[in-house]
Amino acid sequence: MWQERKADLVATMKLRRQSLAKGWYKYSRNPLSVLGLIVLVLIGTSAGLAPYITPYPAHAGAFTNFREAGQPPSWKHLFGTDRIGRDVFTRVIFGYRFSLLLGVVVLSLGVAPGVVLGLIAGYRRGTWVEIVIMRITDVFLAVPPLVLALAITAMLTPNLLNAMFAIALLWWPWYCRLVFAVASSLRNQFFVREAELCGASRAHILFREILPNCVAPILTKMTLDMGIVILLGASLSFVGLGAQPPTPCLGTMVADGAKRLPGEWWSTIFPALAIVLVILAFNLVGDGLRDVFAVEEV
């Protein structure tokens, strides 16, 4: 008996390992995606270890040094210093923390409700449940997210938390719609029908039969969305509605430095490129994931 269960476990693990290996194989076929992943890992770890690897960790917090303000890039300050004398390189690395945190928090708050609502609406398509959920979704989707995010954050006290809150509030409808589309097409698939006919519970059908089929698009969208959320966060802080000083925040740094163009170009160009890099990396990884999942569908 025990032997049998062990064999079962081993086989299951082996299957899982195999599909992971296969996924990675497909992913690794695209060198750009691999590059994106490497960049992302680099950004992630350096953001995580920022206090230990940056040259002037103090510059991320309460610090001023007007004597060294506005210095051009040099070996001492790779990306130069800003108007208060802080090391731009250090602040860019710390700035990634904010961006990544924003992305992770927004998506983890936004995705779950969106997915659940989308599943329910998709499965119960044609009933009042679907109508209520999808009309509410429509309302949220009726204006571009940045506009609503601006409107909301403009009214709240600007800080990291409120920016996250505002964006998260806007994010679920996208997942709701995505999952709705998948779920309502899967609803008539025979394997769902079969589970119903067999007497399986709603929860089983929603979360065991339909949800696994939504995972691929959700994951892909999530990686691509990380880029979009980071962009949105950067945009909000560019307008001055993001994290508050002295928190290093890429959008704020760009906005701040832009006032000093073309003279102190380094204080805006480097943070701007940093934003581009992280979004690019997420896009590349997202495309890689899409490849992985797309081939599987065939």
Quote the CA–CA distance of 82 and 88 in Å, as a whole number.
Answer: 6
Residue 248 interacts with another protein (CB under 8 A): yes or no:
no
Site for another protein in 90-109 (CB under 8 A): none
Residue 131 interacts with another protein (CB under 8 A): yes or no:
no
Contact residue for another protein among 11, 38, 41, 42 (CB under 8 A):
11
8 vs 48, beta carbon nearer another protein: 8
Beta bridge partners of 81: 87
Site string for another protein, 206-245 (x = CB under 8 A): --xx--xx-x-----------x---x--xx--xxxx--xx
Contact residue for another protein among 3, 52, 62, 75 (CB under 8 A):
62
Quote the CA–CA distance of 265 and 198 in Å, as a whole number.
Answer: 67
Site for another protein in 179-198 (CB under 8 A): 189-198
Contact residue for another protein among 3, 52, 135, 203 (CB under 8 A):
135
18 vs 49, beta carbon nearer another protein: 18
Contact residue for another protein among 43, 102, 254, 289 (CB under 8 A):
254
Contact residue for another protein among 38, 132, 143, 161 (CB under 8 A):
143
Q: Taking a C-beta distance cutoff of 8 angstroms, is the pair 248, 87 a contact?
A: no
Quote the CA–CA distance of 233 and 164 in Å, as a whole number.
Answer: 8
CA 238 distance to own-chain centroid: 19
Quote the CA–CA distance of 167 and 179 in Å, as a whole number.
Answer: 19
49 vs 155, beta carbon nearer another protein: 155
User: Which residues contact residue 243 at a Cβ distance below 8 angstroms, ignoring those fewer than 6 apart?
Assistant: 98, 159, 160, 163, 237, 249, 252
CA 176 distance to own-chain centroid: 16
User: Is 89 strand, coil or helix?
Assistant: helix
49 vs 268, beta carbon nearer another protein: 268
Q: CB of 255: closest distance to another protein in angstroms? A: 8
Residue 35 interacts with another protein (CB under 8 A): yes or no:
no
> What's the chain's Rg over C-alpha atoms?
23
> Residue 233 is which amino acid?
G
User: Six-digit token pair at 234?
Assistant: 């950067």
Residue 3 interacts with another protein (CB under 8 A): yes or no:
no
Quote the CA–CA distance of 264 and 72 in Å, as a whole number.
Answer: 7
Q: CB of 93: closest distance to another protein in angstroms? A: 18
Q: CB of 281: closest distance to another protein in angstroms? A: 8
Residue 128 interacts with another protein (CB under 8 A): yes or no:
no
